[in-house]
Structures are given as structure tokens and as C-alpha cells.
């Protein structure tokens, strides 16, 4: 094979090469395999517990079939998200999933990490679009599930299992997605609230709004300031901000921005700006989840009704955050002052406690690798963890794929 860059990295040019490599590895040393795509989320999860091969899917980036009138597309998993977006755009279609660092991120990586963004409120997440998948397991066995039609209940839904599995079960090589038409119009409202109480009141009102937003973002002042600057927009960022997105036919977004402005003003939020050229702002809102130099980036999931309480607590600790308020998801960066593990643990403790109490969790996207010995990356252990480990053992009994990344080594051996 000519595609091996170095002894520790392999970039197959075809899925056959990928399969052969994994088969040989399994029949020989059985070294650890670390699947990578655009390398935008390598810090998500625990550090590997064994040395091994980095397995790059970047050259598996072909379009296999795009029957645009069926509104499905089949592509190899190494395709970059921006490239996929361009292909779909040419037919007036899109995959309505917001992906940070989309110029680098690959579809396979985005699936493995279950990436989502602001528009998940209106359009759902990857599990709502992935209809077929082909993967290669640690033994080199190629398997598929689902198919190429938009509705299909034949066999177990391994698509769901693979989404968010962090490359721990198999290497995703090819996927079929259902896609949506491009909207005619896309707009964002930037609504500066006086305080958190006003945000809460507005969110309560939104439950019965005459409009149907596709995104409902809450930003604290720190995040609002950063985001408006990045998007090169002169928008107020003195306190918490509600950022509300509408998409659809032009007359729909037009009507909704007007109706929502009136609703917000009736609820006491007077400072409402309509961002008509919304693309740069969508981009920056999405990219906020990317850690630049912050000491730690987390995602909390909780009941939507507890989101403002959580955001207020985190803000008072100095966290910069945005939230998908309709979905109960908060993404936060710890402030630069947090330079030690102790300081991070101390700042996270009340946030973890609140997330757990609100039936959710707090997951670490990115931090110093050594901190992960102390901070639980996936939050508090859930009841179904043992079953997840049984699935991992069934599909990868030798723990070759991303060993330790999802279940720290100790936890895996605990069930033996």
C-alpha cells in the first residue's frame, strides 16, 4: 500500500484499503485505531489508553449518489462539511445541521460527535437525517444499516447507535442522508434584555408565540459581545441577549419577525434589531462552540425550564455562554483566569450539581488532558452505562477502536 504516511498514521484512498488495513491489524497485533476526520473534536472524550494508529478518513470523500429529486444523498464519510453544503446548494437543498469549523470538519466526524447548533430547534439533529450507514468494525468487517429511502424500519437502527459513538464502535465510511430544500429567506432577531428575569419572561411567552422560530439562542453579555464583534455587527451586548431565528418563504420570515418583535415588546424587551443578512451571524453563533484558547469548554443539557437559572449562575462565575434555549443545551467557556485544575473543579461544581438536578448532565468538550483524570468528561454516570459497555464489547471485544475514549479504562475493566 502506498498511502501510509508514517508508521502511525494511515489514510486509505478507498474503503477496500480501509477494510484491508483494519483486517490486517486485527489479525496481527491488534493495535489501537483512532479514527479521525477533520480533527476538530479530538479533545472530546478521554485520552486514549493505548498507543496506536491514527486512521484518517479524509480521502474517503466521494459522492456516491445524489438523486436530488428524491431528496437524499449518499456520500463517503470523509467529505468536508463545506463541500457537502456546496454540492447540496447547487440543487437548492441543504442538510440543516449547524457545524462549527465546517471548512475542516468531516461528515463522519460530525456524526461520530453528534454535532449540532442553533437550528436544531427547528430542524432537529443528525439522528433525524441519517437514513443509511456503512461502517467497518475493528475486525475489518464492513456492515451497513438503514438504506437509501427516507422511511425504513427494516433491521435494527444502527444509524442511531453510530451517531455520537465517538469512533468507539466502528469507522463510519459511507452515509445516506435525507436533505431539505433551501429556505427562501433566513433572518435573525437580536433582542437585548435588561436582565435574566426578562429573558425568562420572554422564553415563557415564546411557548405560546404565534411564530415558529427555528432557533432560540440565549447569550450572556460576554458571549454577545464576542459574537457581535466576530460577525462585524454593531449590536447591543450589555446584558443577556435573545437571538431568534426564522427561516422559510420570504413572506413567512417577514411576518414572523414583525410578529415576534411585537410580542417581545409586549413582554418588556424593547431593544429588538432585525438582522436581514443573517448568514455571518449564524456562522458565528455556530462557531461559538469551538474552543479557541479557553481553559475549558463544556456542554450542559438540562430541562429547558432550568436554563435561565443555570445561565445566570454560570454567568456570575465568569463563564461565557450561549444556549439553545428551546432544547435545554448550554455551551460555556470557562474564563482565562481559570488556570489550575482546582479552580476549574471549583467553578464547575455548582454547575454540575444544577445540571444533574435538572435531569441533565455536563459534558466536557475540551480541556487540558491531565484535568480529565479528575473532571468526569461525560458527567455523572447514567443507569444505562453497563448496557452501553456490553454493546461496545459485542462490537469491539478487543477494545481496538478509540480505547478508553468513551469509557475510561477503569470503567471497562469493572464489568469484566
Partner 1 sequence: MPETATISKIPAQALEALRSIVGETSVLSAHEQVLVYECDGFVIEKNTPDCVVFPETTEHVVAIVKLCNEYKIPFVPRGAGTSLAGGCLPVGGGVMIALTRMRGIHDVNLRDHYAVVGPGTVNVHLTQHLKGTGYHYAPDPSSQGACTIGGNVATNSGGPHTLKYGVTVNHVLGAEVVLPDGEVVQFGGYTEDNPGYDLTGLFVGSEGTFGVCTKVIVRLTRDPVAYRTMLGVFETVEDATQAISGIIGAGIVPAALELMDQGIIEAVEPAFHFGFPLDAGAVLLIEVDGLEVAVDGEAAQIVELCEQNNAREVRKADSPQQRDLLWKCRKKAFGAIGRLSPSYCTQDGVVPRTKLPEILKFITEASARHNIRIVNVFHAGDGNIHPILLFDERDAEQVKRVLLASDEILNRCIELGGSVTGEHGIGVEKISFMNKLFTEADLETMEAVRFAFNPSGLCSPQKMLPTAGACGMEHIEKSHPARRAAL
Stretch of 2-10, 95-103, 104-112, 323-331 contacting partner 1, by CB under 8 A: 323-331
Least distance to partner 1 from the beta carbon of 257, Å? Answer: 12
| Whole-Å CA distances, 169 to 68, 140, 298, 394 | 31, 12, 24, 9
What number of residues does the chain have?
416
Interacting residue with partner 1 among 145, 192, 289, 341 (CB under 8 A): 145
Compute how many residues bind partner 1; rule: CB under 8 A: 81
Interacting residue with partner 1 among 104, 180, 225, 372 (CB under 8 A): 180
Interacting residue with partner 1 among 147, 318, 335, 350 (CB under 8 A): 147
Stretch of 32-40, 158-166, 232-240, 264-272 contacting partner 1, by CB under 8 A: 158-166
Interacting residue with partner 1 among 61, 113, 174, 301 (CB under 8 A): 301
Distance spanning both ends of the chain, measured CA to CA: 37
The residue among 169 and 188 lying less far from partner 1, judged by its C-beta, is 169
By CB under 8 A, the residues from 338 to 367 that bind partner 1 are 358-361, 363
Under rule CB under 8 A, residue 49 binds partner 1:
no
Under rule CB under 8 A, residue 311 binds partner 1:
no
Least distance to partner 1 from the beta carbon of 148, Å? Answer: 5
Stretch of 33-41, 51-59, 101-109, 154-162 contacting partner 1, by CB under 8 A: 154-162
Q: What is the DSSP string of 193-245?
A: -SSHHHHHHHHHHHTT-SS--SEEEEE-HHHHHHHHHHTT-----SS-EEEEE
| Whole-Å CA distances, 184 to 181, 187, 246, 249, 253 | 9, 10, 11, 5, 9
Taking the C-alpha atoms of residue 226 and residue 317, their distance in angstroms, rounded to an integer, is 18
The residue among 155 and 268 lying less far from partner 1, judged by its C-beta, is 155
Stretch of 159-167, 191-199, 262-270, 284-292 contacting partner 1, by CB under 8 A: 159-167
The residue among 101 and 142 lying less far from partner 1, judged by its C-beta, is 142
Q: In what order do the strands lie in the sheet with 171-178?
A: 63-65, 72-76, 171-178, 130-136, 142-146
Interacting residue with partner 1 among 31, 39, 372, 385 (CB under 8 A): 385
Interacting residue with partner 1 among 5, 128, 279, 342 (CB under 8 A): 128
Cell 455551551, located at residue: 331
The residue among 185 and 290 lying less far from partner 1, judged by its C-beta, is 185
Least distance to partner 1 from the beta carbon of 37, Å? Answer: 19
Contact assessment for residue 135 and residue 143, using Cβ atoms and an 8 Å cutoff: yes
Least distance to partner 1 from the beta carbon of 162, Å? Answer: 9
Taking the C-alpha atoms of residue 76 and residue 78, their distance in angstroms, rounded to an integer, is 6
Under rule CB under 8 A, residue 158 binds partner 1:
yes
Least distance to partner 1 from the beta carbon of 339, Å? Answer: 27
Interacting residue with partner 1 among 233, 343, 388, 411 (CB under 8 A): 388
Orientation angle between helical segments 250-266 and 196-206, nearest 10 degrees: 130
Taking the C-alpha atoms of residue 376 and residue 24, their distance in angstroms, rounded to an integer, is 35
Least distance to partner 1 from the beta carbon of 8, Å? Answer: 28
According to DSSP, the β-strands at 52-56 and 32-36 are: parallel
Cell 432560540, located at residue: 216
Q: Is 404 helix (H, G, I), strand (E, B) or coil?
A: coil
Under rule CB under 8 A, residue 295 binds partner 1:
no
By CB under 8 A, the residues from 241 to 270 that bind partner 1 are 248-249, 251-252, 255-256
Taking the C-alpha atoms of residue 117 and residue 124, their distance in angstroms, rounded to an integer, is 9
Under rule CB under 8 A, residue 205 binds partner 1:
no
Least distance to partner 1 from the beta carbon of 199, Å? Answer: 14
Q: What is the DSSP string of 57-85?
A: -TT---EEE--GGGTEEEEETT-BHHHHH
Under rule CB under 8 A, residue 383 binds partner 1:
yes
Under rule CB under 8 A, residue 104 binds partner 1:
no
Amino acid at each position: 500500500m502506498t498511502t501510509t504516511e508514517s508508521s502511525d498514521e494511515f489514510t486509505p484512498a478507498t474503503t477496500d484499503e480501509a477494510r484491508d488495513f483494519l483486517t490486517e491489524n486485527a489479525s496481527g497485533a491488534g493495535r489501537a485505531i483512532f479514527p479521525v476526520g477533520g480533527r476538530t473534536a479530538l479533545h472530546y472524550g478521554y485520552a486514549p489508553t493505548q498507543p496506536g494508529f491514527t486512521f484518517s478518513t479524509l480521502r474517503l470523500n466521494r459522492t456516491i449518489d445524489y438523486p436530488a429529486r428524491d431528496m437524499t444523498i449518499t456520500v463517503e464519510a470523509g467529505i468536508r462539511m463545506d463541500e457537502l453544503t456546496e454540492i447540496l446548494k447547487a440543487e437548492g437543498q441543504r442538510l440543516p445541521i449547524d457545524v462549527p469549523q465546517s471548512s475542516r470538519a468531516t461528515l463522519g466526524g460530525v456524526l461520530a460527535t453528534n454535532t449540532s447548533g442553533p437550528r436544531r430547534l427547528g430542524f432537529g439533529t443528525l439522528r433525524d437525517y441519517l437514513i443509511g450507514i456503512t461502517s467497518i468494525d475493528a475486525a475489518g468487517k464492513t456492515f451497513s444499516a438503514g438504506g437509501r429511502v427516507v422511511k425504513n424500519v427494516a433491521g435494527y437502527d444502527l444509524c442511531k447507535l453510530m451517531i455520537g459513538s465517538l469512533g468507539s464502535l466502528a469507522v463510519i465510511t459511507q452515509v445516506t442522508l435525507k436533505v431539505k430544500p433551501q429556505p427562501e429567506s433566513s433572518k435573525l432577531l437580536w433582542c437585548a434584555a435588561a436582565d435574566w428575569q426578562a429573558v425568562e419572561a420572554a422564553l415563557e411567552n415564546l411557548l405560546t408565540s404565534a411564530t415558529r422560530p427555528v432557533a432560540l439562542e440565549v447569550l450572556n453579555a460576554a458571549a454577545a459581545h464576542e459574537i457581535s464583534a466576530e460577525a462585524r455587527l454593531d449590536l447591543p451586548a450589555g446584558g443577556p441577549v435573545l437571538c431568534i431565528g426564522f427561516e422559510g418563504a420570504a413572506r413567512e420570515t417577514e411576518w414572523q419577525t414583525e410578529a415576534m418583535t411585537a410580542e417581545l415588546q409586549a413582554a418588556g424587551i424593547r431593544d429588538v434589531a432585525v438582522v436581514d443578512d443573517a448568514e455571518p451571524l449564524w456562522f458565528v453563533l455556530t462557531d461559538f462552540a469551538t474552543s479557541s484558547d479557553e481553559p475549558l469548554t463544556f456542554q450542559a443539557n438540562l430541562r429547558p425550564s432550568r436554563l435561565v437559572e443555570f445561565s445566570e449562575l454560570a454567568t456570575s462565575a465568569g463563564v461565557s455562554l450561549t444556549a439553545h434555549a428551546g432544547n435545554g443545551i448550554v455551551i460555556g467557556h470557562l474564563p482565562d483566569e481559570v488556570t489550575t485544575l482546582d479552580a476549574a473543579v471549583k467553578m464547575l461544581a455548582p454547575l454540575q450539581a444544577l445540571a444533574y438536578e435538572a435531569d441533565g448532565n455536563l459534558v466536557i468538550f475540551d480541556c487540558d488532558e491531565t484535568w480529565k483524570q479528575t473532571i468526569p468528561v461525560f458527567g455523572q454516570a447514567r443507569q444505562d452505562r453497563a448496557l452501553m459497555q456490553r454493546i461496545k464489547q459485542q462490537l469491539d471485544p478487543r477494545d481496538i477502536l478509540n480505547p478508553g475514549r468513551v469509557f475510561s479504562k477503569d470503567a471497562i475493566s469493572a464489568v469484566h
